[in-house]
Amino acid sequence: MSGIDYSGLLPLETALERLLAMAQSAPIQGCERVELAAADGRVLAEPLIAGLDLPPWPNSAMDGYALRLADWDGTPLAVSQRILAGTAPQPLQPGTCARIFTGAPLPVGADSVEMQENVALDDDGRVRFAEPLRLGQNVRGQGQETRQGDSVLPAGTRLGPIELGLAASLGVAELSVRRQPRVAVLSTGDELVEPGLPLGPGQIYNSNRRLLISWLQRLGCAVVDAGILADDLARTRTALGGLSDVDLIVSTGGVSVGEADFLGEALREAGELTFWKLAIKPGKPLTCGQFRGVPVIGLPGNPASTLVTFGLLARPYLLRRLGVERVAPLGFAMPAGFTWSKPGKRREYLRARLENGRVVPYPNQSSGVLRSAAWAEGLAEVLEGTTLAEGDSLRFIPLSEILG
């Protein structure tokens, strides 16, 4: 793969580097405080600092009996109190033990817990412990998980169920998050019709609009639905001009250097245009630039191309503008369950599944076929200039890595 000149085609890494550099110089400014219930998918603007120790006090990890190990001489101990979760215990009476349940506070004076399965109860109710007991066993010490003042999540963390649960465990009800980016979605193409309307001759339904709007919403964006744009320069100008208050315009279609490249034309006139032929398949043509200062990313129109270019380029760009550090999707090496005999000039992102631990591509990899991605569980990366035999390893990027 290396050493081969694919001049004219831009490697994905280079395109991503350039996009991330652009993102870095145009961070989404401003933040707001939102309740946890509204923070899913948003990006933390300030580090989350623990306001208390976790656990806040020592407590029992088991249902059992708490005792002070140094006081125990091997004889059975009387039970002097019963401590349920959510109650405040008395200090432990010397020479006794306490019945205790999981999550209940350890009484002052106790230092160890024996689980109930390991003790025997005498007829008089005394508890017979068996050797050996270890000091501190089954006790979750104060601050064992987190100390007050710890930075638990850095600024730039994307918030999901786990982070929100963690914030809740610290008693935090609101978080400071980055302002929602306003992202306009524009579908270009004379042939496009919205679902629910009848199809005329030569027309197809607009799939990209729904794909991108739902995706952007999952990414925590406020979406401006700019509808369908006809293939016409004057209308393209007007449409772009009407979107001056957004942080990003994502358009689909009309980016191949063809006669109907109105997006490129409009950007060239009133902004800045960069056109890339990416060394990937699907998703070769990509336009980026700005229209009167508003950043624009023009994705190719075929739905599977839209998916791949949005997922691998536009999504990381957007997240980086929000201050997210780790924007690349995780992928892992998996054995091919297919052969690849013809080395390609472009890196292919096959819509594929894992079957019996092997990567199996959808039979129809045409860039127009969104059904391939609905069937798939991930994108399988076949590097440029390579062939694959069954069992050879290739990178598999789960779709879940890019969709949220």
Positions that interact with ligand AMP (CB under 6 A): 187, 189, 191-192, 204, 206-209, 252-256, 300-303, 368
Binding mask 285-304 for Mg ion (x = CB under 5 A): ----------------x---
Closest approach, Cβ 228 to Mg ion, in A, equals: 11
Closest approach, Cβ 219 to ligand AMP, in A, equals: 19
> Which of 132/202 has CB closer to ligand AMP?
202
> Which of 58/254 has CB closer to Mg ion?
254
Among Mg ion, ligand AMP, none, the one that 191 touches (CB under a kind-dependent 5 to 8 A) is ligand AMP
Could you list the beta-strand ranges (E) of 107-220.
112-115, 120-121, 127-128, 139-140, 151-153, 174-178, 182-188, 192-193, 204-205
Q: And the tokens for 113?
A: 């817990």
Cα-based distances in Å from 93 to 57, 65, 66, 80, 81:
19, 13, 11, 7, 9
Among Mg ion, ligand AMP, none, the one that 208 touches (CB under a kind-dependent 5 to 8 A) is ligand AMP
Closest approach, Cβ 304 to ligand AMP, in A, equals: 10
Among Mg ion, ligand AMP, none, the one that 206 touches (CB under a kind-dependent 5 to 8 A) is ligand AMP
> How many other C-beta atoms are found inside a 10 Å radius of the C-beta of residue 55?
20
Rounded to an integer, what distance in angstroms lies between the CA atom of residue 224 and that of residue 244? 11
> Which of 58/298 has CB closer to ligand AMP?
298
Amino acid at 120: A
Q: And the tokens for 320?
A: 């980086």
Per CB under 5 A, contacts with Mg ion among 156-215 are: 189
Q: Tell me the three-class secondary structure of 174-205, residue by residue.
A: EEEEECCCEEEEEEECCCEECCCCCCCCCCEE
Sign, CA torsion 99/103/105/109: positive
107, 254, 285, 378: residue in contact with Mg ion (rule CB under 5 A): 254
Closest approach, Cβ 182 to ligand AMP, in A, equals: 21
Q: And the tokens for 272?
A: 């800045």
Among Mg ion, ligand AMP, none, the one that 204 touches (CB under a kind-dependent 5 to 8 A) is ligand AMP
Closest approach, Cβ 254 to Mg ion, in A, equals: 4
Q: And the tokens for 356?
A: 């019996």
Amino acid at 174: E
| 6: Cα separation from own chain's centroid | 33
> Which of 189/311 has CB closer to ligand AMP?
189
Closest approach, Cβ 309 to ligand AMP, in A, equals: 11
Binding mask 40-79 for Mg ion (x = CB under 5 A): ----------------------------------------
Q: What angle (nearest 5°) sits at the alpha carbon of residue 259, between those of residues 263 and 367? A: 75
Cα-based distances in Å from 45 to 20, 35, 153, 272, 276:
19, 14, 10, 30, 33
> Which of 91/258 has CB closer to Mg ion?
258
Residues that bind Mg ion (CB under 5 A): 189, 253-254, 301
